[in-house]
Amino acid sequence: MRLSRYFLPVLKETPSEASIASHRYMLRAGMIKQQSAGLYSWLPLGFKVMKRIEQITREEQNRAGAVEMLMPTIQGADLWRESGRYDDYGQEMLRIKDRSDRDLLYGPTNEEVITDIFRSFVRSYKDLPINLYHIQWKFRDEVRPRFGIMRCREFLMKDAYSFDISMEEAVRSYNKMFVAYLNTFARMGLKAVPMRADTGPIGGDLSHEFLILADTGESEVFCHKDLVDMVVPGTDIDFDSDLQPIVDQRTALYAATDEMHDQAAFEAQVPADKRLSARGIEVGHIFCFGDKYSKPLGAKVMGSDGKEHVAQMGSYGVGVSRLVGGIIEASHDENGIIWPKSVTPFGAGIINLKVGDAEADAACEDLYSKLSTAGIDPLYDDKNDRGGVKFSRMDLIGLPYQLVVGPRGLKDGVVEVKDRKTGEKQNLSPGAAINMIIFAYKDVNP
Amino acid sequence: MRLSRYFLPVLKETPSEASIASHRYMLRAGMIKQQSAGLYSWLPLGFKVMKRIEQITREEQNRAGAVEMLMPTIQGADLWRESGRYDDYGQEMLRIKDRSDRDLLYGPTNEEVITDIFRSFVRSYKDLPINLYHIQWKFRDEVRPRFGIMRCREFLMKDAYSFDISMEEAVRSYNKMFVAYLNTFARMGLKAVPMRADTGPIGGDLSHEFLILADTGESEVFCHKDLVDMVVPGTDIDFDSDLQPIVDQRTALYAATDEMHDQAAFEAQVPADKRLSARGIEVGHIFCFGDKYSKPLGAKVMGSDGKEHVAQMGSYGVGVSRLVGGIIEASHDENGIIWPKSVTPFGAGIINLKVGDAEADAACEDLYSKLSTAGIDPLYDDKNDRGGVKFSRMDLIGLPYQLVVGPRGLKDGVVEVKDRKTGEKQNLSPGAAINMIIFAYKDVNP
């Protein structure tokens, strides 16, 4: 993309309403614009990052055998009356009346709708297990939206729903999602720790939150240090194999959010030098709640024993839009964002220090064309701004690599390659710079 | 995808509520499920087709220089009061009150929000032209939702918005979208005809609807026959070149929807043997409305003349979800859907006539693996159903090619390849069958 044809409204000033790094940098880097309290437009740069996070989430869901579909944002109230949650859910649910005065709502979650789909079509244990997911906008009418898209009202979530014939099978489905989540967050460059968590309005006994550690996290968390750097299973894992050992390896070590924390158990189970108490950001939450929805909604299948069984369910959420903020909280410095290569909106930035200079223009066009062909998707700053403006803008938006092209370097046959994360700079021939960047991305998307 | 691990709830009976082919086949092929009046879940097969249509739309928008972003589904009412449309829009707008009793609405279109974004960030003619688009769910509270997803309440639309310094430039932006739309619909296997159309609640003078011809179309249309088969510009067109001749070539010939139709002009301008009157389905609509929104909302930029100019705007819609139905209306037979190769949910179907037979299983696995590697994304019917059930299911869901694998054919070293559209069958070695299918798809996605 050429910057002259892009829409990247960066701000010079730090907006006063933004109290945390992700909110500040998303506004300054022209990633979002607030439209009303807790309602945001995703400007092109922010949208692109969100799409990459969505795609990684999708690929790992598919790999684990979940099947994608889509439920509407607006739901009828009837199913929620059947499950008993219409009155329970409280004021966070956005309730709506249509022109015929029927009760609708903007879905805050989808257990009811998916259970209705299941009961409409599935009759036999032979069709199980099933895990259906969608990536859809949700609405929760927060009383005090804050922290930009981290606690807003309309947000994008991946939610999956599994159906099994027995609780034993349901745990197998749960484990698949547990493992898929480890891989999902690792691919985004995050260290996410699964923790025992409160189940809130979703319900059930078995539940884990996945949290990334960041000073600005909304929850206090307590865990065994070894969990943070534990190696993830990897995307070549066989999801049909027994995944219990992988889950056990994690759940054997203490990890809890503040609601579930037990200080005595923490001290008893974790040696003092391994105790980590920190702040965390929730990026995923998985639940196994058995028949909580299938029973009131009558979602039953015929078993191999010739009897009807109520389906045993789980649900599994990833906060897709919130992850954009979460990744920034985990990866930034005083100059701006530092994107992990797997989610960066553009693979590299090209800075032309002298637009209009025939040699500089030609060198930039050549880099742009070759990197584009190689699938690096570069952003070419071809605008008529001063060098300082270009450098600080490129640092702010956080692309992993910057290629700085100017007449002086070209005289010596080199361009400058800057690593955004380390700040390291090196002068390379244009060909070597291209090869270096292609090499750096070769294992990014498995 | 293996059918045993997919969720494809096909129906044997034709649902009584479905009066048109697309609605009937989308229900029978397990593509959608109605949740409430005019609200649908997109089951995996339907979702996959919609995603392919979305992706073609996106690629052609990007090619024409439009930049993707995303606006929220829920909007504050204030901007609509500023533009004067809050009261004008009528009961089709879903009006909502949040927990603090503020007026919100579910966006039926986004002129107000995008104009607000523009006025917040753009100051100079140097930043123009800009064309921003998003692919987002909209809601129109139809008094009588019908025809499945063809006239439902929550629907997916691509809407683009262009901003220019003058009306002359705005027409250039309009022409880009005009040409992009010709390519977009052609890539989906459709013959879409641009027609002068009423501008309705969007406004403006210059406007074209893009209609595909189908007996079940909601509008009566009148046009010169030559428009239907006119060659499209093609995706290698240079969008920076003068596109007016391409637009003129079309607009020189008579074409109008019933609201704009003038029978006398039709007869005067079109020779009798070239007059086509038919029914059409609207799949796109483009508008150039100048300052209708930019003026009340104060969206101005500084011109090269040092003076402030109100931005001249256009908006451009594609009915992404509705196209799923539109394509079925244009392409089906008595046995089911016939997908164009560019939007088919799977590239080919593999039917195993004897699951459990070692040779048949091995041959199918081999086909499945090789087609998957080649990017054909096959659907492998590995279920334990009778042949007749498998044949009619595969015809119903309409994949362009079927590979029928059974012990009898394998004895002769062949599998049967069926072309869904022509019904033609041929016996080929598995290797030849794979090559034939790969060859058939080689030019599908430019």
ipTM (interface pTM):
0.97
Partners of residue A104 in chain B, C-beta under 8 Å: 36
Partners of residue A36 in chain B, C-beta under 8 Å: 74-76, 78, 102, 104
Residue B1 has pLDDT above 90, yes or no: yes
Residue B287 has pLDDT above 70, yes or no: yes
- CB-count burial class (<10 Å; 0-12, 13-18, 19+) for A304: exposed
B354-386 residue pLDDT tens: 999 999 999 999 999 999 999 999 999 999 999
pLDDT for B196: 86
CA distances from A212 to A145, A247, B339 (A): 21, 18, 44
**A-B Cβ pairs (cutoff 8 Å, strict):** 146
| Probe site for chain B from A50, A74, A95 (most B CB atoms < 10 A) | A74
- The band of B17, judged by pLDDT with boundaries at 50, 70 and 90, is confident
- The band of B81, judged by pLDDT with boundaries at 50, 70 and 90, is very high
From the list B35, B69, B78, the residue facing A43 with the nearest CB is B69
pLDDT for A128: 97
Give the closest residue to A158 by CA, choosing from A59, A232, A240, A233: A59
Nearest chain B residue to A39, by CA:
B72
- The band of B61, judged by pLDDT with boundaries at 50, 70 and 90, is very high
Partners of residue A91 in chain B, C-beta under 8 Å: 99
Give the pair of three-digit tokens for residue B348.
Answer: 């080919």
Task: For chain A, say whether B106 makes contact (Cβ under 8 Å).
Answer: yes
Nearest chain B residue to A69, by CA:
B44
Mean pLDDT of B405-412: 97
Q: Chain A window 34-53: which residues touch B at a Cβ cutoff of 8 Å? A: 35-37, 39-44, 47-48, 50
What is the C-alpha to C-alpha distance for residues A273 and B97, in angstroms, rounded to an integer? 52
Q: Could B96 and A94 be called an inter-chain contact, meaning their C-beta atoms sit closer than 8 Å?
A: yes
pLDDT for B72: 98
Mean pLDDT of B225-229: 95
Mean pLDDT of B392-404: 98
Say which range, A143-157, A378-392, B200-214, has the weakest mean pLDDT. B200-214
CA distances from A124 to A130, A169, A208, A297, A299 (A): 11, 15, 30, 17, 11
- The band of A387, judged by pLDDT with boundaries at 50, 70 and 90, is very high
Residue A366 has pLDDT above 90, yes or no: yes
Task: For chain A, say whether B138 makes contact (Cβ under 8 Å).
Answer: no
| Probe site for chain A from B71, B111, B162 (most A CB atoms < 10 A) | B71
Q: Could B96 and A96 be called an inter-chain contact, meaning their C-beta atoms sit closer than 8 Å?
A: yes
Q: Chain A window 366-385: which residues touch B at a Cβ cutoff of 8 Å? A: none
Partners of residue B137 in chain A, C-beta under 8 Å: 72-73, 137
pLDDT for B441: 97
From the list A47, A68, A122, the residue facing B44 with the nearest CB is A68
Residue B289 has pLDDT above 80, yes or no: yes
Nearest chain A residue to B129, by CA:
A5
Q: Could A36 and B7 be called an inter-chain contact, meaning their C-beta atoms sit closer than 8 Å?
A: no
Q: Could B132 and A44 be called an inter-chain contact, meaning their C-beta atoms sit closer than 8 Å?
A: yes
Mean pLDDT of B139-144: 95
Q: How large is the angle between the packed helices A44-63 and A320-330, nearest 10 degrees?
A: 110
How much is the mean pLDDT over chain A?
A: 96
pLDDT for A200: 76
Alpha carbon of A323: minimum distance to chain B alpha carbons (Å): 16
Mean pLDDT of A308-321: 98
A157-176 residue pLDDT tens: 999 999 999 999 999 999 99
Q: Could A50 and B70 be called an inter-chain contact, meaning their C-beta atoms sit closer than 8 Å?
A: yes
- % pLDDT > 70, chain A: 100
Residue A205 has pLDDT above 90, yes or no: no
Mean pLDDT of A141-151: 94
- The band of A117, judged by pLDDT with boundaries at 50, 70 and 90, is very high
Three-class DSSP labels, chain A = CEHHHCCCCCCCCCCCCCCCHHHHHHHHCCCEEEEECCEEEECHHHHHHHHHHHHHHHHHHHHCCCEECECCCEEECHHHHHHCHHHHCHHHCEEEECCCCCEEEECCCCHHHHHHHHHHHCCEHHHCCEEEEEEEEEECCCCCCECHHHECCEEEEEEEEEEECCHHHHHHHHHHHHHHHHHHHHHCCCCEEEEECCCCCCCCCEEEEEEEECCCCCEEEEEEHHHCCCCCCCCCCCCCCCCHHHHHHHHCCCEEEHHHCCHHHHHHHCCHHHEEEEEEEEEEEEEEEECCCHHHHCCEEECCCCCEEECEEEEEEEEHHHHHHHHHHHCEECCEECCCCCCCCCCCEEEECCCCCHHHHHHHHHHHHHHHHCCCCCEEECCCCCHHHHHHHHHHHCCCEEEEECHHHHHCCCEEEEECCCCCEEEECHHHHHHHHHHHCCCCCC
pLDDT for B321: 98
Q: Chain B window 153-212: which residues touch A at a Cβ cutoff of 8 Å? A: 153-154
pLDDT for A446: 67
pLDDT for A204: 74
Identity (one letter) of the amino acid at B294?
A: S
Give the pair of three-digit tokens for residue A419.
Answer: 């690593």
Q: Could A75 and B36 be called an inter-chain contact, meaning their C-beta atoms sit closer than 8 Å?
A: yes
What is the C-alpha to C-alpha distance for residues A235 and B2, in angstroms, rounded to an integer? 20
Alpha carbon of A278: minimum distance to chain B alpha carbons (Å): 33
Residue B15 has pLDDT above 90, yes or no: no
Say which range, A228-237, A268-277, B196-205, has the weakest mean pLDDT. B196-205
Task: For chain B, say whether A66 makes contact (Cβ under 8 Å).
Answer: no
Location of structure tokens 């509270």: B141
Residue B36 has pLDDT above 90, yes or no: yes
Q: Could B94 and A98 be called an inter-chain contact, meaning their C-beta atoms sit closer than 8 Å?
A: yes
Residue A335 near residue A326, CB atoms below 8 Å: no
pLDDT for A361: 98
From the list B42, B96, B106, the residue facing A69 with the nearest CB is B42
Partners of residue A41 in chain B, C-beta under 8 Å: 69-72, 113, 117
| Probe site for chain B from A10, A11, A41, A118 (most B CB atoms < 10 A) | A41
Partners of residue B134 in chain A, C-beta under 8 Å: 47
Q: How large is the angle between the packed helices B320-330 and B21-28, nearest 10 degrees?
A: 100
- The band of A123, judged by pLDDT with boundaries at 50, 70 and 90, is very high
Q: How far is CA B188 from the centre of its chain?
A: 8
A217-228 residue pLDDT tens: 888 999 999 999
Alpha carbon of A255: minimum distance to chain B alpha carbons (Å): 34
Give the closest residue to A31 by CA, choosing from A49, A43, A19, A22: A43
Residue B199 has pLDDT above 80, yes or no: no
CA distances from A443 to A187, A380, A400, A438, B417 (A): 11, 24, 15, 10, 38
Q: Could A104 and B76 be called an inter-chain contact, meaning their C-beta atoms sit closer than 8 Å?
A: no
How much is the mean pLDDT over chain B?
A: 96
- The band of A445, judged by pLDDT with boundaries at 50, 70 and 90, is confident
A6-64 residue pLDDT tens: 999 999 888 888 889 999 999 999 999 999 999 999 999 999 999 999 999 999 999 99
- The band of B446, judged by pLDDT with boundaries at 50, 70 and 90, is low
pLDDT for A138: 98
pLDDT for A215: 86
From the list B9, B69, B99, the residue facing A121 with the nearest CB is B9
pLDDT for B216: 83
